[in-house]
Each structure stands twice: as structure tokens, then as C-alpha cells.
Chains A and B, each alone.
Chain A
Amino acid sequence: MARIELIDVVKRFKGETVIPKLNLTIREGSFTVLVGPSGCGKTTTLRMIAGLERQTSGDILIDGACVNDTEPGKRDVAMVFQNYALYPNMTVRGNIEFGLKNRGVPRQERERLVRDICEIVGLTPHLDKKPHSLSGGQRQRVALARAMVKKPKVFILDEPLSNLDAKLRVQMRTELIELHRRMGATFVYVTHDQVEAMSMGDRIVVMNRGEVMQAAPPMELYHDPDNLFTARFIGTPPMNVLPVSRLAGLRTEGEGTAEFAGFRPEHARLFPEAAEEPRDAWFIAGEIVTRESLGAEEVYQLRCEAGTFFVKSFLNPYGGGNFAFAAVPLDRLYFFDRDGNRLRNLRAVRPQPALAGVR
């Protein structure tokens, strides 16, 4: 396992600046997930760590050593590609031992390593087959085995589960977490799926347009987002964000001028009328536009003066007709300024008189 540091890394493609200035530290032995929308630079960052792309300026260090000029094969980094990139004309065995051969590992040891790895991933009956006769899941295992057998310090995975069907994906998620625990290498994982990110990573780096929006463990991202982007990226449905100017009766105290207020759908509860209880809640009235029932969960979309928002309830369907009051606990309200930065020192205050949020 190794620590990875990106210092003032800039990447430009043909005049377009994809990554303006990136500073990132990936802790050794962590399962770090880079997540963000398409084009946010996560794959580019990954490739720069692997050495497949060269940064325009800045330094990349692996375990304290600068690897700017080190070739990809020599950085002790293994990669699993989105489309697996298996060598079509070689057998499974050939694919796995190719890297070992190039390193000059003697044959006896090579065979032992290949045998062991195949036992771990369950590929032993397929050793002499070629990739085209394997299923998607099997190919993925070969890609994994090929990377694992090199016992790298850094294990890079570029959306490895995106080509699998949903069920296999869930299964592989747990297997990958197992793998991380067993191997102890630093895992750098790229995905655009925030659910995958939240469930697998012990540290998540949210990226947007080449910049790190926030790097923190999953729960911190969930409870304490740094900015609007992160807040809205995590969660299904994402956090509701409404302009403060259109929210009548919302009172705050503390530092900063709030432009936006946000709350998570799962923190709100629906009531048929504005009530005294819960006391430390702010009520917002709305018309229910759609209802989605997902079995145990219900997701409601409501339209109010300030816009539309969602409410998610668990095992508690709302029976009150087309109008409802959403009660949001005051301490579950997040505030953001005009630039999208989180105002941590601003709190919502109990409206006086009560029910002032009512229309």
C-alpha cells in the first residue's frame, strides 16, 4: 500500500483546461472513490496516477517518491479498465501472467502465482480459454486477477462494474470490498454512481470540472457537505435546495448571508396540517405533484411557492390527500451562500410566531 499525492496538478488538452489545479492526498491503504458527473476529470486524474496521461504541470508522488517521469509499468500500479482490455489472442493464463513475464519472474513462481490468484477469483476451470468465450462477469474476474497477481501498491479501478448487470454489480461490490481488505493495497476507484461510491469507499472525493468539491468519509459528505454541489450530488433523491428569498418566514441567526436553503428528502415528514408539534421544525406547504412507491419507501414530489422539492418516507405512506405540510427539523436545514459554499455558522431559528411558514 502506498500514499498518493497530487500537488498542484494541472491538465490541459488542446487548449482546454480540464483540471485547473488539483491538490489531493490519497491515504495509504484506503479505499478512495473519485466520484462526479461525466467530464469532471475523475478518469483523467486516475490515468495521471497510472501514468497513462502526463500532467501538464504539477507533481505526482507515490509513497513520497516523485513519479512524474516514471513509466506506467514501473510505478507499481495495477489497473482494471472499464472494458477490461483483455488481450484477445491470449488465454486467461496468458493474460494474467503477461505482466509477470515482462518483469522476468521465473516460470515456476509465475505458475504458482497464477494458480493462487485463479483460486481466489474462481477462474481455475477457465485458465486455457480465450476471452471471447467467457461471460462478462468472468472477463471481469480475469481483469481483476491480472491486476492482483502483480501485488501492486496501488490498485486503480476505472468504473469496473458499469458493464455488469445490476445483480452482478451488487455482488461484485461486496467482493471488491473483501478484496481490498485482504490485499491491503491502496484502492483508487472511479465511478459516476454515487450509490456505489457511498457504499464502497472509506473516503470519497467528489469532483466537478476538474476540482475537488470535497474529500471526506461518506457519512461526513452526507451530514456535513462543504458546498451545494456535494450536497446535491449525494443522496437519492438529492438534497432539496430552495432559494431563501422565496421562503417566507424563515429566520436565521449567525454569520453569513444565505442565498439557498437545503434539506434532505428523508429528513422531512408530511403532515396534513400545520401543527404545533414537532416544535423545532419549519413547515412548508405544498401540493403533491407525484408519488413514487418503491415498496418500503415512498417518494413525494411537492410544489410550493419557492419551487419543487421531494420528501422521502420509510414505511409511512402519507394519507392526507393532495396537500401537505412538510416539516423539516431546524437542525436539518443547511444554508449556502451565493457561490454555493456552505455557511456552517448559520442556523435556522424557530419562527415566531410558530406556523409563520404557513401560507
Chain B
Amino acid sequence: MPFITNRLKPYAMIAPALAVFALFYLYPIGYMIHLGFHEWNFISPDKTWVGLGNYREMLADDTFLQVLRNSALYTVMTVLLATGTALPLALWLNRKSAFHAFVQGAIFSPHIISLVSISLLWSWLMDPEYGLLNGLLHLLGIGPLEWLNDPDTALISLVIVAVWKSLGYNTLVFIAGLQSIPPELLEAAALDRSKPWTTFRRIILPMLSPTLFFLVIINLIGSFQVFETIAIMTQGGPVNSTNTLVYYIYEYGFRYFKIGYASAAGVMLLVIVGTLTLVYFRLLSRRVHYR
């Protein structure tokens, strides 16, 4: 008898966690895929099978195509800017003094504040008439910008907010990565009279590549999930210029009650993020240098 309970023990121990994951993560995905093949307006209990109809409709929808474009643009800009600026910043701020700790803490602070706070704050900062940003630009003699109200600048404004929020996190992660480089390597390079740029390219960058790899994927997946800033600051507008995938799904699910269609869009999101992750891992993980 004790032998059997001994065998069952580990399963019993992971059962609660597994139940949560199965119920709230794995099953919903299956459910969503299933719903994607139906049409349902949530009020009535009828779910009509439409096969690939939702997908066809989606790909024929101009708005959807724009949403895809917006998502791609947003992601590329955010990832490039956020990680691209974080690396030089990390190199600059990488020192262990009280002052540096203060600066690091300051730039990290947006990361732990609610996105609601940040969205509200930046909505106000970017107010075309009375916002602080235009006020500062005025000091520099630049005319007022429309920021969130102009379809041409709205997406970039959101990118700026995203970068502002994540810059501190990215920088500190880079700093942690930099500090994990064995100092002997850098000392050896110094003894070899290596120029700063060479040291960076040949030693620091390869040693940092796992961190870079990690940050890019985190920022990538994160930027595809953007929702809060859009919901609070632009509601997808103006003229769908800031409508991205998650917001699109949200609208079709909760505003237009086209559950089947929204589910199909959700599946698209799943496919896109999944493919990106796979491609990313296959292509780039080979270039990551592990010790």
C-alpha cells in the first residue's frame, strides 16, 4: 500500500497547479480554435459552423490588414528602440556607485507603475493644447504636435510611451548581463591593448548575446500584447491608426459581439506569435554564444 501512495504522491503534488493551467490556459486555446470555426453573437445560444469563413472574412477586411500592419510596425519600432537604446545606456550606467544606483532606480520606476497610470499621465503630457510635451517643444521653438490626435503620429506616440516604460527594465537587465561577464576577460583585453569598439564587438557583445536574445523575445511578445495604452489613450484611433491585434479582438468580442470572428482573430494572434517565437529560436539561437 505505501508503495502505491508513494507513486501517486508527485502527481498529487502537481495536480492543483496543473488543473489551473489546463483549465485556464490550455483548454481556452482549444476552445478558441473551436469557436474560430463558428459564428456566434453571444446572446443567443446558437453557434453556427462556418468553417474557414471567419478567416476569409478577416483577410478580406481592410481594417484587419491595417491592424496587422500597425501591429508589425509597432512591434518593430518598439523592440528596436527599446533594446537599441537600452544597450548604450547600460554601457554608460554600468557602475556600482550610489549615484549610479540612483539613476538606475529612476529609469526603472515606470516599470512597476500601473499601465493605467502611465497611459493617463502621457495622455495628459501629449495633450495637443496644454500638454507638457508641446510646452517643452515650444521652448525649443517647435510648433505644437498633434501626438495622439493625428493618424500619422498616433502610433509613434504610443511607441514612445512603450519605450519610456520599458527602457529602465531593459537597461537594468543589460547591466546585469554586463556584470556577469567575468572581469578577467575585459582585463585580458585591456592588456592586449584592445580598442573600446573592438572589445565591445568581440567580447562584450558575444557574452551579452544570451541577454540580448532574452530581451528581444520578451519585448517582442510583449509588444504584440499591447492593449492598455491603446484602450486608454486612443481607443484604436484615430481612424484605426493605432488599432492592433489584441484591441481588434477585444472590440469584435466585447463591442460587436462577433465571438466567432474575434476567436478567429485570436487564433491569428496565436499563430503569429507562435511562428515568430519558433522562427526566432531556430534562426537566432544559433548565434547566441553560451559559455
Q: How far is the CB of B5 from chain A (nearest CB, A)?
A: 11
B24 within 8 A of A: no
A165 within 8 A of B: no
Across the A-B interface, the 3 shortest Cβ-Cβ residue pairs: A69-B3, A71-B2, A69-B2
> Which of A's residues lie within 8 Å of B, judged by CB?
69, 71
A334–B159 Cα distance when bound, in Å, is 89
Main secondary structure of the interface of A (DSSP, over half): loop
Q: How far is the CB of B128 from chain A (nearest CB, A)?
A: 59
A71–B5 Cα distance when bound, in Å, is 13
3 A/B residue pairs, CB under 8 Å, sorted by A? A69-B2, A69-B3, A71-B2
Q: Encode B1-43 as 1/0 by CB contact (under 8 A) with A.
A: 0110000000000000000000000000000000000000000
Q: How far is the CB of A73 from chain B (nearest CB, A)?
A: 12
Q: How far is the CB of B17 from chain A (nearest CB, A)?
A: 25
Q: Which residue of A lies closest to B3 (CB)?
A: A69
Q: Which residue of B lies closest to A74 (CB)?
A: B2
A69–B3 Cα distance when bound, in Å, is 8
A69–B2 Cα distance when bound, in Å, is 9
A94–B201 Cα distance when bound, in Å, is 55
Q: How far is the CB of A211 from chain B (nearest CB, A)?
A: 30
Which residues in A have their C-beta under 8 angstroms from that of B3? 69
Q: How far is the CB of B2 from chain A (nearest CB, A)?
A: 7
A69–B5 Cα distance when bound, in Å, is 13
Which residues in A have their C-beta under 8 angstroms from that of B2? 69, 71
Q: Which residue of B lies closest to A70 (CB)?
A: B2
Q: How far is the CB of B3 from chain A (nearest CB, A)?
A: 7
A71–B3 Cα distance when bound, in Å, is 10
Q: Encode B128-151 as 1/0 by CB contact (under 8 A) with A.
A: 000000000000000000000000
Which residues in B have their C-beta under 8 angstroms from that of A69? 2-3
Q: Which residue of B lies closest to A71 (CB)?
A: B2
Q: How far is the CB of A337 from chain B (nearest CB, A)?
A: 46
Q: How far is the CB of A72 from chain B (nearest CB, A)?
A: 12
A71–B2 Cα distance when bound, in Å, is 9
Q: How far is the CB of B9 from chain A (nearest CB, A)?
A: 13
Q: How far is the CB of A10 from chain B (nearest CB, A)?
A: 19
Which residues in B have their C-beta under 8 angstroms from that of A71? 2
Q: How far is the CB of B81 from chain A (nearest CB, A)?
A: 46
Q: How far is the CB of B167 from chain A (nearest CB, A)?
A: 40
Q: Which residue of A lies closest to B6 (CB)?
A: A71
A204–B2 Cα distance when bound, in Å, is 36
A10–B2 Cα distance when bound, in Å, is 23
A357–B2 Cα distance when bound, in Å, is 69
A145–B240 Cα distance when bound, in Å, is 75
Q: How far is the CB of A120 from chain B (nearest CB, A)?
A: 35
Q: How far is the CB of A24 from chain B (nearest CB, A)?
A: 25
A70–B33 Cα distance when bound, in Å, is 51
Q: How far is the CB of B8 from chain A (nearest CB, A)?
A: 16
A50–B271 Cα distance when bound, in Å, is 54
A69–B4 Cα distance when bound, in Å, is 12
A69–B6 Cα distance when bound, in Å, is 12
